[in-house]
Amino acid sequence: GAVVSQHPSRVICKSGTSVKIECRSLDFQATTMFWYRQFPKQSLMLMATSNEGSKATYEQGVEKDKFLINHASLTLSTLTVTSAHPEDSSFYICSAPRREKLFFGSGTQLSVL
Amino acid sequence: DQQVKQNSPSLSVQEGRISILNCDYTNSMFDYFLWYKKYPAEGPTFLISISSIKDKNEDGRFTVFLNKSAKHLSLHIVPSQPGDSAVYFCAASAGTSYDKVIFGPGTSLSVIP
């Protein structure tokens, strides 16, 4: 069964609104979680590392004020896409390490109209 | 600048034959290499990995070969089955097998019955 749960699986929103995506580790604690995005027919690009109890670490070129990450507990990390625009439309995936392996959520397809 | 490359975007193989997926990397600091399998609208699932101290790792029908001097690895699937049809991502990381994993662009494998 799944060890990482991601919700929602799909969201359609209007330009200018904010969207929150949740990532939960099931039956294990994750002090670190990772957020990726994937454009069609392209690779998964690491956006940021979410750290429980401290600030997230963002990859170069990723706007931290645009993509807010909150890792408030050992089982939950959230990614909020603020003031979403059509260019933010993408497939967002979270992951968490467990026993030296990386487990992924099922992803969230964001479509901004 | 892609650090992990998969030069074949797609591959078709007859059922029962061998599938060989190739991957090249540029960063000599990478010391863990992983293969993930992904179905559409789902998160990737871990398949097999290899550390840089080895040149081969086998798990059932899946074998990964690593050639450090050539910065090249390959995934062999034998015999190939129709259920193997998916996108396969080569990935690499430095330091651990799960931290800041960098993905290649993926190869779409079709196994023809």
Cβ atoms within 10 Å of B101's Cβ, excluding its own: 26
Mean pLDDT confidence for A105-109: 94
* pLDDT in the model for residue B55: 96
Q: Is the pLDDT of residue A34 over 90?
A: yes
At residue A1, the pLDDT reads 65
Chain A residues touching B101 at Cβ < 8 A = 34, 46, 102
Q: Is B1 on the interface with A (CB under 8 A)?
A: no
For residues A59 and B102, is the Cβ–Cβ distance under 8 A? no
Looking only at the bridges linking them, the beta strands covering A10-13 and A108-112 are parallel
Q: What angle do CA B90, B92, B98 make, to 5 degrees?
A: 110
Subunit contact B45:A104, Cβ cutoff 8 A: yes
Residue of chain A whose Cα is closest to the Cα of B101: A46
Torsion B59-A92-A45-B38 (CA) sign: positive
Radius of gyration of chain A (CA): 13
Check residue B40 and give its pLDDT: 84
pLDDT, average across residues A8-36: 95
Nearest-angstrom CA–CA distance, B113 and B87: 17
| pLDDT single digits (tens) A48-63 | 999 998 899 999 999 9
Q: Which range (A8-17, B4-13, B89-98) has the least confidence?
A: B89-98
Is residue A41 scored above 80 in pLDDT? Answer: no
Stretch A74-83: mean pLDDT, rounded?
Answer: 96
Residues B41, A109: C-beta atoms closer than 8 Å: yes
Q: Residue A104 pLDDT more than 70?
A: yes
d(CA B49, CA B36): 9
pLDDT at B38: 92
Across the range A81-108, mean pLDDT stands at: 92
To test the contact with chain A by mutation, choose from B6, B8, B103, B108 the residue with the greatest count of A C-beta atoms within 10 A, namely B103
pLDDT in tens, B58-72: 999 999 999 999 999
Predicted confidence (pLDDT) at residue A76 exceeds the cutoff of 90:
yes
